[in-house]
């Protein structure tokens, strides 16, 4: 799949071999067809060695990110039309920044401010481990407290959204952590 940058120009380059016609009088163009039905044609040049160079301009305000479609190289030589290369394409950006901005209400006399909040993900394993140790559950009495452990974990999960991978991590590492704490 060919990648087209939305935020910077890029040259499409390839080499062609043409038999029975002159390279000097031939023309090359790149046709971009999106899945949404938009079509773009980019004209290029062919040098004497058969190197094709077609500049693709920035398309940032024209196409959206991750847009897909078909890309076709067209060569016209002595009034004969060829399509020697086709490919799927996808649009991407070369640089991307995202920020979560939390606005706060400021007094009218102060200057505007922006604060950035970086959210950290909770360590579910440590939180559950703390609840177990607060209930005096350790590696030595784990089998006697199965019901209590299930209740603590179920209550924690109902109050905190946990993905399947995080739950798998908790189930895998909880006994080991309890063992480490119990042997201190």
- CA gap 70, 39 in Å, rounded: 10
- Give the residue among 1, 55, 10, 47 at the shortest CA–CA distance from 30: 55
Q: Are strands 10-15 and 2-5 parallel, antiparallel or unpaired?
A: unpaired
What phi and psi, each to the nearest 5 degrees, are found at residue 102?
-110, 115
pLDDT (0 to 100) of residue 179: 81
List CB contacts of 145: < 8 A, sequence separation 6 or more: 135, 137
Amino acid 53: pLDDT = 92
**Which pLDDT value is given to residue 30?**
93
**Can you give the pLDDT at residue 121?**
53
Q: What is the CATH number of domain 2-92?
A: 2.60.40.10
CA diameter of the chain: 88
Give yes or no for a contact between 91 and 66, defined as CB atoms under 8 angstroms apart: yes
Residue 8 and residue 95 in contact, taking contact as beta carbons nearer than 8 Å? no
Question: What pLDDT was estimated at residue 41?
Answer: 94
pLDDT for 32:
94
How far, in Å, CA of 76 to CA of 82, rounded? Answer: 6
Per-residue model confidence (pLDDT) at position 133: 87
Angle, helices 164-182 vs 124-134, to 10°: value is 40
> Could you list the pLDDT tens digit for every one of the 184 residues in the chain?
888 888 888 888 888 888 888 888 889 999 999 998 889 999 999 898 889 999 998 888 888 888 899 999 999 888 888 888 999 988 888 766 666 666 666 555 555 555 555 454 567 888 888 888 899 888 888 889 889 988 988 888 888 878 787 878 888 888 888 888 777 6
Specify the pLDDT at position 71.
Answer: 92
What residue spans define the domains of the chain? 2-92, 124-182
Q: What is the pLDDT of residue 54?
A: 92
Whether 44 and 29 have beta carbons less than 8 Å apart is answered as yes
DSSP 120: P
pLDDT number for residue 159: 85
């Amino acid at each position: 799949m060919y990648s087209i940058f939305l935020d910077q120009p890029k040259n499409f380059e390839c080499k062609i071999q043409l038999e029975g016609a002159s390279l000097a009088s031939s023309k090359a163009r790149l046709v971009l067809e999106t899945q949404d039905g938009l079509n773009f044609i980019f004209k290029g040049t062919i040098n004497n060695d058969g190197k094709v160079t077609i500049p693709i301009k920035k398309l940032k305000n024209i196409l959206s990110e991750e847009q897909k479609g078909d890309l076709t190289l067209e060569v016209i030589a002595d009034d004969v039309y060829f399509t020697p290369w086709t490919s799927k394409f996808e649009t991407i950006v070369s640089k991307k920044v995202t920020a979560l901005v939390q606005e706060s209400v400021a007094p009218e006399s102060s200057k505007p401010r922006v604060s950035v909040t970086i959210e950290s993900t909770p360590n579910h394993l440590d939180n559950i481990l703390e609840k177990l140790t607060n209930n005096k559950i350790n590696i030595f009495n784990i089998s006697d407290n199965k019901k209590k452990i299930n209740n603590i974990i179920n209550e924690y999960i109902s109050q905190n959204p946990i993905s399947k991978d995080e739950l798998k991590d908790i189930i895998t590492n909880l006994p080991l952590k309890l063992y480490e704490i119990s042997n201190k």
